[in-house]
Amino acid sequence: MSFLRELWRAQVEFVRTFGAMSLFFVQLLRYSPLTLLNRFGLVVAQIFNAGALSIVIIMVSGLFVGGVLGLQAFANLERFNAEEATGILAGFALVKEIGPVITALLFAGRAGTALTSEIGLMKATDQLSAMEMMAVNPMQRVFVPRFLGGIIAMPLLTAVFTMVGLLGAHLVAVELLGVDVGAYWQQLQQAMEPDDVYEGVTKSVVFGFVASLLAVWEGYNSVPTAEGVGRATTRTVVSTAIAVLILDFMITAYLL
């Protein structure tokens, strides 16, 4: 009986949280146009926080992920005397899959956690209540700029990751392993269609949307204590990672 009661309680809690999150999401959407119009400076500041401050980790990761892809592609294609297709394999993997997914996971770990803990601490130290008391809507001043900043930053970070990844694959395949530079880039250029890029862009936009929403929501929903903010920060990484991987599968299945 107690198991059933716990199960019921968990379901009620899930529905309640989902409902509250949906309302929060509606509020974010409601205030987004106004914030873009009246507080664009705040949005730009958050693009800088979420994007520019993540650029180093994105570039370093992109370089090494690209390098590994170059290595793996070369090693496996060489068996079939097809090593000149290394560029195609690395390029497709980066543009359509690995670029958007790894960028989103890194975003959750770097920018997402920063957003959640910042908002959680603002809540714990009464800064959000103080804004309310000064007749300033935290939705417009705090949440929406961070939400929009994340959405805009994600595709840009994905583009940087993918470009640096291609460069990493080039360095390994061409400079290190001796694949012909002309074949590497020409085959990639010929094989890649606009639809392939569209798939990567779609994913990065959707992931940006989800990662920003979860990060801001977890901060807003955090228990205003040191432990509560810590838990919320962990939840941001876990829930974003799971959501991104599930959505990745769904988008891929839909677009294929």
134 contributes a contact to other proteins by CB under 8 A:
yes
225 contributes a contact to other proteins by CB under 8 A:
no
**Candidates 132-140, 144-152, 198-206, 213-221; binding stretch for other proteins (CB under 8 A):** 132-140
132 contributes a contact to other proteins by CB under 8 A:
yes
Q: Cα(first)–Cα(last) distance of the chain, in Å?
A: 46
125 contributes a contact to other proteins by CB under 8 A:
yes
Among 1, 4, 37, 135, the residue binding other proteins under the rule CB under 8 A is 135
What SS3 state is found at 158?
A: helix
126 contributes a contact to other proteins by CB under 8 A:
yes
Q: Give per-residue burial for 170-186: e unless 16+ CB within 10 Å, then b.
A: bebbbeebebeeebbee
Q: List Cα–Cα distances, 119 to 28, 63, 65, 72, 175, in angstroms.
A: 15, 32, 32, 41, 46
| The residue count for the chain | 256
Q: Which amino acid is at 170?
A: H
**Candidates 18-26, 120-128, 213-221, 239-247; binding stretch for other proteins (CB under 8 A):** 120-128
**Candidates 7-15, 122-130, 167-175, 178-186; binding stretch for other proteins (CB under 8 A):** 122-130
The residues, ordered by sequence, that sit 6+ positions from 148 with a Cβ below 8 Å of its Cβ are: 32, 35, 36, 43, 46, 212
Among 1, 4, 133, 253, the residue binding other proteins under the rule CB under 8 A is 133
Q: How far is the CB of 232 from other proteins (least distance, A)?
A: 18
Nearer to other proteins, 4 or 133 (CB): 133
37 contributes a contact to other proteins by CB under 8 A:
no
Q: How far is the CB of 198 from other proteins (least distance, A)?
A: 38
Nearer to other proteins, 161 or 220 (CB): 220
247 is written with which tokens?
């959505």
Q: How far is the CB of 133 from other proteins (least distance, A)?
A: 4
Which residue from 63, 171, 66, 49 is spatially nearest to 114, judged by alpha carbons? 49
HSE toward the beta carbon, residue 123, CA cutoff 13 A:
22
Nearer to other proteins, 121 or 192 (CB): 121
Chain residues that interact with other proteins, rule: CB under 8 A: 121-122, 125-127, 129-137, 141
